[in-house]
Amino acid sequence: MTANGWLQIAVFCALVLVLVRPLGGYMARLFSGERVFLSPVLGPVERVLFRAAGISAKQEQGWIAYALSMLAFNLAGLLITYVVLRCQDMLPFNRQGLPGLPPDLAFNTAVSFTTNTNWQAYGGETTMSYFSQMVGLTVHNFTSAATGIVLAIAFIRAFSRATAKTLGSFWVDLTRCTLHLLLPMAIVLALVLVWQGVPQNLDPYVSATTVEGTRQTIAQGPVASQVAIKMLGTNGGGFFNANAAHPYENPTPLSNLLQMVAIFAIGAGLTNTFGRMVKDERQGWAILSAMGVMFLAGVAIAYGAEASGNPLITALGVDGGNMEGKEVRFGIANSALFATATTGASCGAVNAMHSSFTPLGGLVPLINMQLGEIIVGGVGAGLYGMLLFVVLAVFIAGQMVGRTPEYLGKKIESREVRLAFLALLVLPLAMLGFTAVAAILPEARASLANAGPHGFSEILYAYTSAGANNGSAFAGLNANTPFFNLTLGLTMLIGRFLMIVPMLGVAGALVAKKRLPPSAGSLPTHTPLFVGLLVGVILVVGGLEFMPALALGPVVEHFALAAGQTF
Amino acid sequence: MSIAHDDRGRAMPGAGFMARALGDSIRKLDPRTLIRNPVIFTVEIVSALVTVVFLRDLADGGDAGFSGQIAAWLWFTVLFANFAEAVAEGRGKAQAASLRRTRAETVARRLGDDGSVEQVPGTTLRAGDLVLVEAGDIIPSDGEVIEGIASVDESAITGESAPVIRESGGDRSAVTGGTRVISDRITVRITAAAGNTFLDRMIALVEGARRQKTPNEVALSILLAGLTLIFVIATATIEPFARHAGGSVPIVLLAALFITLIPTTIGGLLSAIGIAGMDRLIRFNVLATSGRAVEAAGDVDTLLLDKTGTITLGNRVATEFIAMPGIDLFDLASAAQLASLRDETPEGRSIVVLAKEKYGIRAHEMSELNARFVPFTAQTRMSGVDHGDVAIRKGAIDAIEALVDGTAIPRDWSVAVERIARTGGTPLGVVRNRRLLGVIHLKDVVKGGIRERFAELRAMGIRTVMITGDNALTAAAIAAEAGVDDFLAQATPENKLDLIRREQAQGRLVAMCGDGTNDAPALAQADVGVAMNTGTQAAREAGNMVDLDSDPTKLIEIVGIGKQMLMTRGSLTTFSIANDVAKYFAIIPAIFAATYPQLGALNVMGLATPASAVLSAIVFNALIIVALIPLALRGVRYRAVGAAGLLRRNLAIYGFGGVLLPFAGIKAIDLVVAALGLA
Amino acid sequence: MLSILRPALVLVAALTAITGGLYPALVTGLAGAVFPDQAHGSLAMDAQGRIIGSRLIGQGFAGDGYFHARPSAAGAEGWDAAAASGSNLGPTSKVLLDRVRQGVAAARADADGPVPVDLVTASGSGLDPDISPAAAYFQADRVARARGLGPAEVHGLIAGHIRPRQFGFLGEARVNVLELNLALDKMAP
């Protein structure tokens, strides 16, 4: 580890923190229906859309209608993408004449982008036409992100409103989020990225004759527009197979910094939106602090492990930390930081190959995802996931102060506990359950590139990533087989929607409750003590169940590596 | 007999008691009853499973020594949990048994419509029947006195041996089935049919027979069931994982890991905590109709307290003599004392005491003076003495003024009277032979230490509101002196009800106590309504608690008991979950020892062998339940330090302690296990 | 049900048109107008205007007279800019260690002393255009010998091509292999 490495980490954190209040305030105003700076331009567009859709901007929905609308919208989007991918050979902008995708891969990919996972069982430049990239995939980068954000807003309203029936209108929230928040940010970021060197064209792949005279085909495409939103919306699906490690997707340290900030910007801002909407910004800061504590711990472990390198390679007379799978322009600090951020958030973009990380370096992304990606988290998903943990933490600890547990004046009772637990139960069930199945199926084992504990980690990572809707991979696993495409697709659906529906149920129960005035007897939820408690509950309730699996993967690999054992 | 016991809370049970509890814990193994507790029920299933493995090991020569020990400790885990519940219930059962003895067969004299008297068994009475009860009879069922007055021995219910007066009309009309009339005769209208009387409910309550889970307990059970499910997933997937690595984990080890991870500690103690909470109230001579009410008491935000008897001593006390110009203060004190010598009211006695203590006037002997006492009557509204030609009177200001009608009233008189009224006191005039001597200041005396109690309540986040019939001026003065947060002056049943509704509309939970029939609506509206046992039947029906001692101050303690129950539950839950960290470190290296010996590095406790590690963890897991039974029954100590302070303290003890303690505990057990060569 | 289906279908269609059509079209138009070079892939031409690659995309160099880039796992032969990929080998992989061992053995021909790690490890993209300054200096003697240049000249060339950290602290100092080799060709053809 170097001082300069930590300086970069500090600058990254500072940039994210600086954006928290402006973005948080903007979103609070936007979702409270106030006028924002683009209203004069986009207001008429909105009105046309609402009229065409037959909805009124004032008509709100209860939690069931909100959930059904969300499901209908996502199902429609999923089907369109499936069809686009299957038929891309008949659609325009297919410069390389790529064939339509087989059904299992099309299903997996359509699910993957709909669920904000962006798991990629394919290599972008060898599989997807430009039309598929734009219409099939970029669209979901917007809408799945918007879905996550508006769900978080609905959950926030459960606390900011009292004795109410509705959580807002999914349609209105979704449209405003896409038009006023994601689109302007994406346009600006895309242009900055082009300035740094990210291509944006519809050209055919370039054929070059290299200096030494060999032929090199260089993939092209509308890269910047997709990369910008894949980061802002924590989607993470690379335009190219190598994702943000690819020099075209992420050409400079500056583009790297901006992309990392983009991953955290909206998610971190939402904590402030939460604070503002419940009229106590400290609550938002407390949640962000809990995220921050876990984030910094993860960065420190990952950075330390990667910087100290692979002892087996060092023993061969090699000098330096672990650079396998990393890019020279980013170096070790930025790679460890990116890995921690992309898995803390539900992004899944990678600027270095996690599979080639040291065992402890690879353990951090795994744990981040297993905890449910609540370290800032996927846009929206991170906040509502975190708030579910808050509900549990308040319930467990709240009784310790001798009162029925309450959070922000809302009593946490059996219905909320049941639904919150249902939502949190989904993750270990999908992640561990499918890993167990794949671990013993011979056809699944045939997909492994690495033997020994690392091979197990590849499977565990795949289902963890899918269940958490992350999308990054220990990419040694060849996941483009019918078995993996199908089971990972299911895992993504479970991890997304089986969590969302009970979460909205919690919101529906909470929004109807009275708000109790705070007193000296109520549990303070903005103090460092509570932050510590929350982190403890997350680690113990959300993390302990993964210990056996982690022990058999990265943990044992760590001890094996220290003992000089190879597989 | 009485259910009022020593309330030190740890009356050490005798050997018979323990034997009964042990028997109960075995009876509770019945899966049909155990299923009410999902966590312990799960342990029982796993115990049965491991027992089967043990038998198989015996048959085919496997490591039966190990599986046998694990099976035994798993069964102990279930038994210890059952034992905790049995001990908690045991105390109630003993009380119920003696209560039941008083519910002897009674014969009632039922009055017919025509005035005829018919002898019927008490059990056939129905609500609405009229019965005649005479001295020596046991009142056959709960009811209301509609005619007559009698003294009643209620010791069966309250444990208080002094008889109480029950009379028709007013607020002392309720009688309880099972109590005995010792003088006079009364006509009672029965209000509760047999089997549903106060005594019946009390028996059911102390027995815990109708105990239903409280709302928080239900929610907590869901959490525990959820955690159990999570660990089902976590352990069920281990075998495929191990197989991927080319190994295998014996089922006994998986069973052991699973049981140590699921929250058996709190699962085993949960119902004991609930029962003990109710029990604490009962031993405090307060009966709650449900556990829900006890829990609500912990949540209370606003306490409505009657001024008289709760905040102030019930009686006013003389604190000052104010002499009129030209009258010696000593003379006034002496006259006032003389006028009060035979006045047996507390106010009268306080005048004698004040004169003696402040002015050193020795109490005269009435006989010495040959004086004649003139008692207080509602007409004269004054009392006093006549001796010789001297007539001294003391009494209400207007009555005294009327007595001296015609003479000029000094300005100082009015000034003194007004000053006393303004500070919340009551002025009493003293006159001798139509000459105004001065004024006695009778003061409402705020109870000692009450101010501090209210400050404590404030620290707990509880608002206190004083309810009084006094005018606003007087009320404000007393409120300020007592340190309550707010007051309701000139209280009527209506504005009391309004106040409760207003508080509740703001989301607050309200507790109050009351005794009169006109308190009933407010008692019913309040989240915690404590009816005084001396009160009317209507009040007792409306509230959700009855205070057998009829002491309104108890409301404060009731809140504390409610909080204590919630705290105990929360603290032990936290402790139980925090324990898991150490258990993982004990068991994970052990179960994978064959597949990946490298994981031995996680054996931070340095446990002797994989088998001893697993055994030690499971033994710790079982013994910790027993070790915590006293805490579950006694409850975590409540301190009035506010939520933040409580959280810090309990988190440090039960959270951090919960993480650290098992490391030490498992290591210690491992040393013993290794030394004895058990594994 | 219609109350949910209609907005779902209308908004899916409208947002697809906006975010999948208008948005990339707008960015493509603006990018092409403002940053035409970058927008079209930062391509490098030779004197005759033929495309020899992209300044951002690494390409393989095998001759002793060129600075070598890092090992590449992109495509079957490496350096396939239409199939970017890392090796994805785990830290305890025998395959990885064998490859590194061979790399170290090959590097030993260039110089003694510890081998800079980036020279023997594959990058994440397989298209890393850069090597560390240490990796460049490590190869300087070989290149100088092959080109008949003095070591000082080659060292000077490397020093002139080191790109420092962006803004002095971002990323790592690096040398673009393609640009360094092109400069080398210009200096001693």
Distance CA B130, CA A21 (A): 74
Judge if C26 and C112 occupy the same domain. Answer: no
3-state secondary structure of A330: coil
Tokens read off for B236: 């069920």
The chain A residue lying nearest C24, using CA atoms, is: A225
Residue with tokens 């030490």, as numbered in its chain: B664
C52 contacts in chain A (CB < 8 Å): 208-211
Kindly report, residue by residue over A404-441, the tens digit of the pLDDT: 899 999 999 999 999 999 988 999 999 999 999 999 89
Distance CA B586, CA B595 (A): 16
CB atoms closer than 10 angstroms to residue A535: 18
Q: Which of B192, B189, B197, B196 is nearest to B131 (CA)?
A: B189
Q: Is the pLDDT of residue A1 over 80?
A: yes
With beta carbons less than 8 A apart as the criterion, state whether A141 and A258 touch.
no
Inspect the interface and report whether the beta carbons of C84 and A257 lie closer than 8 Å.
no
CB-based contact, A543 to chain B, within 8 Å: no
Distance CA B513, CA B306 (A): 8
Kindly report, residue by residue over A203-215, the tens digit of the pLDDT: 999 999 999 999 9
With beta carbons less than 8 A apart as the criterion, state whether B257 and B241 touch.
no
Beta bridge partners of C123: none
Q: Which of A257, A62, A45, A242 is nearest to A166 (CA)?
A: A62
Judge if C52 and C119 occupy the same domain. Answer: yes
pLDDT score of A187: 97
A546 contacts in chain B (CB < 8 Å): 234
Taking one residue from A and the other from C, the number of pairs with CB-CB distance under 8 angstroms is 392
Three-state secondary structure of B494-526: HHHHHHHHHHHHCCCCEEEEECCHHHHHHHHHC
3-state secondary structure of C113: coil
C-alpha distance from residue A160 to each of A152, A233, A522 (Å): 12, 25, 18
Alpha helices in A87-222 (DSSP H): 103-114, 124-127, 130-131, 139-160, 170-176, 183-196
The rounded Cα B362 to chain-centroid distance in angstroms is 45
Q: Which of A402, A414, A514 sits opposite B638 (nearest CB)?
A: A402
Judge if C93 and C157 occupy the same domain. Answer: yes
The set of residues, in sequence order, having a beta carbon less than 8 Å from that of C151 and lying 6+ positions away, is C140, C141, C144
Judge if C33 and C45 occupy the same domain. Answer: no
Distance CA B484, CA B451 (A): 8
Inspect the interface and report whether the beta carbons of A548 and B234 lie closer than 8 Å.
yes
Q: How many residues does chain B have?
A: 679
pLDDT score of A172: 95
Distance CA B534, CA B173 (A): 8
Judge if C16 and C76 occupy the same domain. Answer: no
Query: Is position B444 annotated as part of the catalytic site?
Result: no
Inspect the interface and report whether the beta carbons of C15 and A566 lie closer than 8 Å.
no
| A226 Cα to chain C: minimum distance (Å) | 8
Inspect the interface and report whether the beta carbons of C19 and A199 lie closer than 8 Å.
no
Q: Which of B614, B592, B594, B595 is nearest to B605 (CA)?
A: B614
Tokens read off for A438: 């794949």
Most A-contacting residue of C93, C108, C174 (CB-CB within 10 A), to test interface: C93
CB-based contact, B644 to chain A, within 8 Å: yes
pLDDT score of B161: 67
- Sign, CA dihedral A256-A260-A263-A269, equals negative
Q: Which of A389, A408, A401 is nearest to A535 (CA)?
A: A389
Inspect the interface and report whether the beta carbons of A317 and C130 lie closer than 8 Å.
no
Q: Are chains C and B in touch, 3+ Cβ pairs below 8 Å? A: no
Q: Which of A171, A323, A565 sits opposite C121 (nearest CB)?
A: A323
Judge if C30 and C62 occupy the same domain. Answer: no
Judge if C145 and C176 occupy the same domain. Answer: yes
Portion of chain A with pLDDT greater than 70, in percent? 100
What are the per-10-residue average pLDDT scores of chain B (679 residues)? 37 70 89 90 96 95 91 96 90 72 73 84 83 86 86 75 77 80 86 75 66 84 93 94 90 94 94 87 82 87 84 82 89 87 81 85 66 79 84 88 83 88 84 90 83 85 87 84 89 88 89 80 90 78 83 83 92 94 92 90 92 95 95 88 88 94 96 91
With beta carbons less than 8 A apart as the criterion, state whether B413 and B435 touch.
no
Alpha helices in B153-250 (DSSP H): 155-158, 198-207, 215-236, 238-244
With beta carbons less than 8 A apart as the criterion, state whether B29 and B79 touch.
yes
Distance CA B338, CA B106 (A): 53
With beta carbons less than 8 A apart as the criterion, state whether B60 and B288 touch.
no
Residue with tokens 């038009």, as numbered in its chain: A179
With beta carbons less than 8 A apart as the criterion, state whether B100 and B203 touch.
yes
Judge if C66 and C136 occupy the same domain. Answer: yes
The set of residues, in sequence order, having a beta carbon less than 8 Å from that of C54 and lying 6+ positions away, is A206, A208, A218, A248, C41, C42, C43, C44, C81
Judge if C12 and C76 occupy the same domain. Answer: no
Residues of chain C with pLDDT under 50: none
Distance CA B30, CA B16 (A): 23
Among candidate residues B142, B306, B547, B580, the one labeled active-site is B306
Inspect the interface and report whether the beta carbons of B655 and A414 lie closer than 8 Å.
no
Tokens read off for B142: 């709960």
Inspect the interface and report whether the beta carbons of A199 and C42 lie closer than 8 Å.
yes
Judge if C96 and C19 occupy the same domain. Answer: no
Question: Which range of residues forms the domain containing residue C24?
Answer: 2-37
CB-based contact, A413 to chain B, within 8 Å: yes
Judge if C117 and C168 occupy the same domain. Answer: yes
Which has more pLDDT, A559 or B193? A559
| B625 Cα to chain A: minimum distance (Å) | 19
With beta carbons less than 8 A apart as the criterion, state whether A543 and A427 touch.
no
- The amino acid at residue A339 is A
C50-63: burial string, b at 16+ Cβ within 10 Å, e else = ebbbbbbbbbbbee
C132 contacts in chain A (CB < 8 Å): 328
Q: Which of A369, A337, A302, A560 is nearest to A454 (CA)?
A: A560
C-alpha distance from residue A501 to each of A116, A140, A389, A422, A465 (Å): 16, 20, 16, 10, 20
Judge if C15 and C51 occupy the same domain. Answer: no
pTM of the full structure: 0.90
Kindly report, residue by residue over A524-553, the tens digit of the pLDDT: 899 999 999 999 999 998 889 999 999 999
With beta carbons less than 8 A apart as the criterion, state whether C101 and C123 touch.
no
The set of residues, in sequence order, having a beta carbon less than 8 Å from that of A260 and lying 6+ positions away, is A12, A334, A337, A338, A341
Give, as one character, the DSSP assignment of residue A513.
Answer: S
With beta carbons less than 8 A apart as the criterion, state whether A271 and A531 touch.
no
Q: Which of A138, A207, A212 sits opposite C61 (nearest CB)?
A: A212
Total domain count, chain C: 2
Q: Is the pLDDT of residue A7 over 50?
A: yes
The chain A residue lying nearest C112, using CA atoms, is: A317
CB-based contact, B617 to chain A, within 8 Å: no
Beta bridge partners of B374: B384
- The amino acid at residue B506 is Q
pLDDT score of B140: 83
β B302-306/B510-514 pair status: parallel
Q: Which of A348, A374, A114, A385 is nearest to A234 (CA)?
A: A348
Inspect the interface and report whether the beta carbons of A201 and C53 lie closer than 8 Å.
no
Portion of chain A with pLDDT greater than 90, in percent? 88
Q: Which of A521, C135, A322, A76 is nearest to B459 (CA)?
A: A521
Tokens read off for A129: 């036409």
